[in-house]
Amino acid sequence: MSDEELDVELEARLEEQEEFEPPEAFVEQANVSDPAIYEEFEENWPEAWERAANLLDWEEEWDQVLDDSEEPFYEWFVNGKLNASANCLDRHLDDRGDEVAIEWIGELGETRTYTYEELHREVNECAAALRDLGVEEDDVVTMYMPMIPELPVAMLACARIGAPHSVVFAGFSADALATRMNSADSEYLVTCDGYYRRGDPLDHISKANEGLEDVEQDATTVVVDRLGDDLDHDLAEGQVDYDALVADHEGAEVEPVTRDAEDMLFLMYTSGTTGKPKGVKHTTGGYLSYVTWTSHAVLDIKAEDTYWCSADIGWITGHSYIVYGPLALGTTSVMYEGTPDYPDKDRLWQIVDDYDVDQLYTAPTAIRAFMKWGEEYPERHDLSSLRLLGTVGEPINPRAWKWYYKHIGNEECPIVDTWWQTETGGMMVTTLPGIKNMKPGSAGPPLPGISADVVDNSGDPVGAGRAGYLVVNKPWPGMLRTLYKNDERFINEYWDEYSIPERDEWVYFPEDGAKLDEDGYITVLGRVDDVINVSGHRLGTMEIESAIVGVEGVAEAAVVGGEHEMKGEAVYAYVITEDGYEGGADLRDEIVGAVEEAIGPIARPEAVVFTHELPKTRSGKIMRRLLEDIANEDELGDTSTLRNPDVVSEIQQKVQGD
């Protein structure tokens, strides 16, 4: 049989196969390979979670694993004391001080390598510098930075002195920065002059300065010089140069501040349905235990590995699985500044080859792009070092899963398709790669210790084969504790709707639809709230609509998510103009610009559709479901409850005509 015929036969077999066993060679070396772990967690819950906490070093051990007396304000590892920075750095110095902690690759190909000893030294110097600037325990320090090493350095420095950090994605706008700093009452900002995208220097400091103008409190700013001579800039009053500041504290050592397990480690703002971002609060003991255990059990990370999560630290995936989880395990974590197709479409595979990467954890959006570009790009490189593949951010379709499995993993790497979110802190639904079979398109069963189900509108389980709402029935260590300074919103958004008072049960509702199969595997179907998942990043429709309505000439707007080959979902905006204004190209450009300015380029609308009316129910509620049908070119759903059903076909014809 020729090689070509063999490839065709292989493709046919992969296409038909619906279940894949983990490779025997992987199972033999897996960190977790005993199926009894599921039963152990079930029979010994919540005490079984001590296995996660025991992966860390504690200054004082907890006296209670879980305090659920004030649900849903759960507390984990009660009265335990520890420091996250010490767990990620200090405890590795004796055995792994000379081993690499972070391998950083810049957009232009430059590299920096930090051993654990070197990272420990710079984190200490940064911690001393921040303290000298006035940062005290429990002060929130905002970071507005791209993928440069000073970002994890600053995060770990804050953790060292007991100051929670709040990282704002560098692609977000100046308005987004100001909103988050004001919400967190943050008086300190660490940012940079700029960074590179596709070889071009981007001015970041101007955007940061614009945001600072709208910050209500005085703020001290530390600026990292990333671009050197490629960007001339002057530091404003109240701004200090990072390199000079750290140099002034050369050799400084800062004793890690003892933190209670329930003390806040960081804030992360995520999109909300009200249009106002939510400050998700994660704590030191439960969060760090959870991301360390999931890094160990799901990603199979060992200290001697070179591990790469290709996310951005500006999102929760980067917090959990670039910084805290991997470094707590003492492994080598790869950081890459640039895009996957610069200078060529084999950039990621070149990095895997050059650094002998063991695990690759990336997004379905990226995998779809790799598929489109073609297998010739990974075929240029030796990817045989890979032991495990993972996906994160959104559901992955079976076709992309199988491409990833064949062309990147050579059918020898298990794939962990992970479902979780900012609020959960770490992975919740996925296979354990050393135990469970993989089903392309299905994330898998809940992890040991996680009680998840799919329910109907009444909160009753729907059973196998039917769609419903994904809920989590028991607390877990990595869970958010509350929304910053807003306990009421925390309860309203996550706990009220699907809690069942007559059964005296609290359940966490992550606002995702899902279905369950006969083996207990969960397939996540996507958002059921007013949040759009663009390239794995959650964007609130209210935020986008507010930006659009702020444009002169716009009377009303409705934003929905539409299917997109590369992004998963894209933003589709339906806009009504005010009398006297026409919906032409100029207004469309203004709308797109307003969205980019308010939120960032990631929220840029794929299409702006002008219409004289929006489909509304008799009570005046916009029926976004029909607008989604139009964006996706799907068959229109029921329009009988509309007060203006004719407008739907008018919009549909307009979209098809465009």
**What pLDDT sits at residue 214?**
96
SS (H, E, C) 552-589: CCEEEEEEEEEEECCCEEEEEEEEEECCCCCCCHHHHH
The domain 71-285+312-352 is placed in CATH, from the list 1.10.150.530, 3.40.50.12780, 3.40.630.30, 3.50.50.60, at 3.40.50.12780
More confident residue, 527 or 184: 184
Separation between Cα atoms, residue 218 and residue 239, nearest integer Å:
11
Give the pLDDT of residue 1.
42
Listed as own residue / partner, the contacts of 649-656 with beta carbons closer than 8 Å and 24 or more positions apart are 650/611, 650/613, 651/574, 651/609, 651/611, 651/615, 651/627, 654/609, 654/610, 654/611, 655/607, 655/609, 655/630, 655/631
Name which of 38-47, 116-125, 374-383, 462-471 the model is least confident about: 462-471
Q: What is the pLDDT of residues 488-521, one digit of tens each?
A: 989 888 886 555 544 457 789 888 888 889 999 9
- Residues 202, 200: Cα–Cα separation, whole Å: 6
- Domain definitions of the chain by residue range: 71-285+312-352, 531-657
Q: What is the rounded CA–CA span in Å between residue 485 and residue 178?
A: 17
Residue 590 CA, distance from chain mean position: 29
Lowest mean pLDDT among 334-348, 537-551, 596-610, 631-645: 631-645
CA distance 42 to 9: 43
Question: Kindly report the CA angle at 525 between 520 and 528, in degrees rounded to 5?
Answer: 120
State the burial class of residue 109 (Cβ atoms within 10 Å of its Cβ: 0-12, 13-18, 19+): exposed
Burial class (CB in 10 A: 0-12, 13-18, 19+), 572: buried
Q: Do domains 71-285+312-352 and 531-657 have the same CATH topology?
A: no
Report pLDDT for 181.
97
The two tokens of residue 152 are 């994890």
Nearest to 574 by CA among 548, 597, 593: 548
Residue 14 confidence (pLDDT): 60
Q: What pLDDT is stored for residue 6 in this prediction?
A: 43
Residues in the chain: 658
Model confidence band, residue 650 (pLDDT cutoffs 50, 70, 90): confident
Of the listed ranges 108-112, 269-273, 337-341, 465-469, the one predicted with least confidence: 269-273
3-state SS class at 29: helix
pLDDT at 530: 66
Looking at residue 117, what is its pLDDT? 98
Q: What is this structure's pTM?
A: 0.85
Q: Could you give the CA distance from residue 71 to residue 507 in angstroms, rounded to a whole number?
A: 10
Exposed e or buried b per residue across 303-340, where buried means at least 16 C-beta atoms within 10 angstroms of its C-beta: eebbbbbbbbbbbbbbbbbbbbbbbbbbbbbbbbbbbb
Close Cβ partners of 92 (under 8 Å, ≥ 6 residues apart):
99, 101, 116, 330
Average pLDDT over residues 10-14: 56
pLDDT over 80 (residue 644): no
Mean of pLDDT values over 177-206: 95
Q: Looking at residue 3, what is its pLDDT?
A: 44
* φ, ψ of residue 485 in degrees (nearest 5): 55, 30
Report how far residue 412's alpha carbon sits from residue 390's, in angstroms, rounded to the nearest whole number. 13
Residue 405 has pLDDT above 90, yes or no: yes
How many angstroms separate the CA atoms of 419 and 442, rounded?
10
- Other residues' Cβ atoms within 10 Å of the Cβ of residue 426: 31
Q: What is the pLDDT of residue 2?
A: 44
CA distance readout (Å), 356 to 255, 371, 385: 35, 22, 5
DSSP 40: H
Q: Is the peptide bond before 343 cis (omega within 30 degrees of 0)?
A: yes
User: What is the C-alpha separation between 108 and 202, in angstroms, rounded?
Assistant: 13
Concatenated DSSP letters of 348-409: HHHHHHHHT-SEEEE-HHHHHHHHHH-TTTGGGS--TT--EEEE-SS---HHHHHHIIIIIT
The CA angle 83-86-89, to the nearest 5 degrees, is 150
pLDDT interval class at 11 (50, 70, 90): low
Arithmetic mean of pLDDT, 12-20: 73
| Burial class for 6, CB neighbours closer than 10 Å (0-12, 13-18, 19+) | exposed
Per-residue pLDDT averaged across 361-381, rounded?
90
CA gap 382, 357 in Å, rounded: 10
Q: Does position 292 have pLDDT exceeding 70, yes or no? A: yes
Nearest by Cα to 221 from 178, 282, 251 = 178
User: Would the pLDDT of 310 be above 70?
Assistant: yes
**Residue 596 burial (CB count, 10 A):** 17
pLDDT over 90, % of the chain: 65
- Check whether 566 has a pLDDT greater than 80: no
Class (C level, CATH) for 531-657: alpha beta
